[in-house]
Structure 1
Amino acid sequence: MPSPYADSSLLAEAAQRLIRTVDRLEDAAWAEPSGLPGWTRSHVVAHLILNAEGLSGALGGIVQGEQIPMYPSQEARDQDIEDLAQADPGELRTRLLAATTDFADALAAVPEDAGSTPIERVPGGRTFRTASVPDMRMRELEIHHADLDAGYTRAHWDPGFACAVIDSMAKREAWDSPFTARATDTDRSWTFGSGSGPTVSGTSADLAWWLTGRGTGDGLTSDDGGLPGIGAW
């Protein structure tokens, strides 16, 4: 799979970092708010579990010659997160480890020539290529690890990963106001939207965090004095 994160060791390292953070959480901390509005830390971990399980099922379907969506429906996905978030912390820790292991096994079993095979997020919904799965899972692991608000932050991100997040966000079409993002630590720039607009500068991690709808733009500057509005990821 042509992905910087197709190297299983990089995904495994990110997963292990997350698991170590989760294992250190006191039981009482699971019900506390995460960095995501309306979600506790249990919700974030539940989402990561179900994301891994959904991807594992879809990848397993490819190996079997079947098309299996990640989730039965958007409503079912949302309810499953809500239900699983009520589980005991011990159950969530165990299931996260199992889901992480199953995902690694499922990804390793996909034939090399299956990269262009489409996967449905929900039946009849948007699709993505199998080759994009490693990048998708890496973003889920690293961004939601920081969302846990449990000691791991965007400052821990490798600049290469942060730039990959910005690359992904730049491919999206829904940008109301045009602007340029300039990473001061990598000397890279990205254009968002069409037309001219301000240049927003900062580290690649600060830019990536802001572009996914997180924070208020701490650490960023704009050459016109204001930051464009960014919607939730």
Structure 2
Amino acid sequence: MTEQTAHNPIAAILDATTRYLATVAAMTDDELRAPSLLPGWSRGHVVAHVGNHAQGLARALRGLRTETPMPIYDSPEARDAEIEARSGGSAEDLAMFSQFASLRLAGELNLMRAFGSVERTPGGPVFSMVDLVEARWREVEIHHADLGLAYGPADWPADFAGYLLSEAANDRAEEVQLTLHAQDIGKTVRVGRGGHGVAGTAGALAWWLVGRGDGSDLVSTRPLPTLGEWTRRTPVK
């Protein structure tokens, strides 16, 4: 586990999920139909995706535990189709599905083996147990903020904000050269070899690095570079 998740990674996911589910349970049908912060996706799409990921990950972990390997998703096309089909459900239906899928995943996480790997799709990227735990943490916290409601990067726990800042800086290392100063947690992170300074909270810096924020809440000694789409560099083993 990374330094940030080594203390209790499962507890971090469960805490994040509790906050996320509270937001989902309070949403109305009209709020679900409204656009999320992700281009082309309504909030219903985001909620459907987070729930489907929980359900698929639970299936994969159960397959690992019972020695009957299963991928997280049957195929990229099946993943997309399931999100689209479920996104139009009512607020009540999506809240119930989210709760069920999260409970199922929580059970499998608590029974999770320390070793092994899982395919995202048949023949696709392979994830270790560390990858899976950290990926779920990112899914819940980032997509909670993507809903564009009362929860945002300023509400992320400090350990998650610091973790995501380091991960996203590594992901951008071949794209830009920056030195980031997370003033709220006293952490400095280099992107690539390091470069001109950019300061802000850990959450604001990480949010910008993952391609969400425009960086208007950051302080930079030079104009901020334009970032491309966020792509993970390190999940495949």
Could you tell me the TM-score, scaled by structure 2's length? 0.89
Alignment partners' CA distance in 1, 2:189 and 2:211: 17
Task: Show the counterpart of 1:105.
Answer: 107
Task: Show the counterpart of 2:229.
Answer: 232
In structure 2, the CA distance between the partners of 1:60 and 1:187, relative to structure 1 (3 Å rule), is same
Q: Number of paired residues?
A: 228
Give the letter for the 1:180 counterpart. Answer: T
Alignment partners' CA distance in 1, 2:60 and 2:8: 17
Q: Deviations over 1:114-141 (max 9, x none)?
A: 2xx2221112222221123222211111
Task: Show the counterpart of 2:195.
Answer: 197
Task: Show the counterpart of 2:72.
Answer: 70
Alignment partners' CA distance in 1, 2:87 and 2:6: 31
Task: Show the counterpart of 2:93.
Answer: 91
Extract structure 1 runs of 4+ deviating beyond 6 A: none
Alignment partners' CA distance in 2, 1:152 and 1:9: 19
Alignment partners' CA distance in 2, 1:12 and 1:196: 35
Report whether the alignment pairs 1:208 with 2:210: no
Contact 2:205 2:218 (8 Å CA) reproduced: yes
State, as a whole percentage, how many aligned pairs show the same letter. 36
Alignment partners' CA distance in 2, 1:10 and 1:184: 23
In structure 2, the CA distance between the partners of 1:92 and 1:197, relative to structure 1 (3 Å rule), is same
1:27 Cα shift? Answer: 1.7
1:175 Cα shift? Answer: 3.0
1:7 Cα shift? Answer: 4.4
Secondary structure of the corresponding residue to residue 77 of structure 2: helix
Alignment partners' CA distance in 1, 2:41 and 2:173: 25
Task: Show the counterpart of 2:162.
Answer: 163
Q: Deviations over 1:34-62 (max 9, x none)?
A: 11111111001001001101111111111
Alignment partners' CA distance in 1, 2:213 and 2:207: 7
Give the letter for the 1:228 counterpart. Answer: P
User: What's the C-alpha RMSD, in Å, of the aligned pairs?
Assistant: 1.8
1:46 is aligned, of 45, 48, 57, to 48
Task: Show the counterpart of 2:133.
Answer: 134
In structure 2, the CA distance between the partners of 1:45 and 1:227, relative to structure 1 (3 Å rule), is same
Contact 1:159 1:186 (8 Å CA) reproduced: yes
Contact 1:5 1:11 (8 Å CA) reproduced: no
Alignment partners' CA distance in 1, 2:96 and 2:58: 17
Contact 2:204 2:213 (8 Å CA) reproduced: no
Contact 1:183 1:202 (8 Å CA) reproduced: yes
Secondary structure of the corresponding residue to residue 171 of structure 2: coil
In structure 2, the CA distance between the partners of 1:59 and 1:5, relative to structure 1 (3 Å rule), is farther
In structure 2, the CA distance between the partners of 1:50 and 1:87, relative to structure 1 (3 Å rule), is same
Alignment partners' CA distance in 2, 1:206 and 1:173: 16
In structure 2, the CA distance between the partners of 1:219 and 1:53, relative to structure 1 (3 Å rule), is same
Task: Show the counterpart of 2:234.
Answer: none
Alignment partners' CA distance in 2, 1:82 and 1:69: 20
Gapped runs of 5+ residues in structure 1? Answer: none
Alignment partners' CA distance in 2, 1:41 and 1:5: 32
Contact 2:173 2:191 (8 Å CA) reproduced: no
1:61 is aligned, of 40, 59, 63, to 63
Give the letter for the 2:225 counterpart. Answer: P
Alignment partners' CA distance in 2, 1:205 and 1:192: 16
Gapped runs of 5+ residues in structure 2? Answer: 231-237
